[in-house]
Amino acid sequence: MRPEDALRKSEQARQVIETPIVRETLDFMEKEIMESWMQCPVRDIEAREALWRMAVTTRKFRELLRGTMESGKIALDEIQRKQSSMEKVRNLANRPFRS
């Protein structure tokens, strides 16, 4: 993936995860899942497993968005390095030739 694409995706992920309704919904889901899991009878293994999978999935969703945001930071560094290198080349190219 090109650094510019990673940077664009990073911004989109940031917008999603920082949207109050998304953050509140994920927090609510995690809280509700944990409360349901704690109240679930020990003998109901199937329900406990389903709740555990939901908890893992909810957490994974949040982690994937954060990971995408972090990838954007790396991409931005790469873009800035490239721009800096290109500026150095331009500066060298614009210097008067000395013999």
pTM of the predicted model as reported, rounded to 2 decimal places? 0.68
Predicted pLDDT at 20: 95
Compute the chain's Rg from CA coordinates: 23
- 43 assigned to some structural domain: yes
**Overall domain count for the chain:** 1
Cβ proximity of 71 and 6 under 8 Å = yes
In a domain, 41, yes or no: yes
Side chain identity, residue 90: R
- In the DSSP assignment, the letter for residue 95 is S
Residue 20 domain flag = yes
Q: What does the buried/exposed string (b/e) look like for 3-20 if buried means 16 or more CB atoms within 10 Å of the residue's CB?
A: beebbebbeebeeebeee
Position 39 in a domain: yes
Q: Which residue range(s) make up the domain with 41? A: 3-94
pLDDT digits (tens, 9 = 90+) for 46-63: 999 999 999 999 999 999
Tell me the C-alpha distance between 27 and 85, whole Å.
43
Tell me: the pLDDT tens digits for 31-45? 999 999 999 999 999
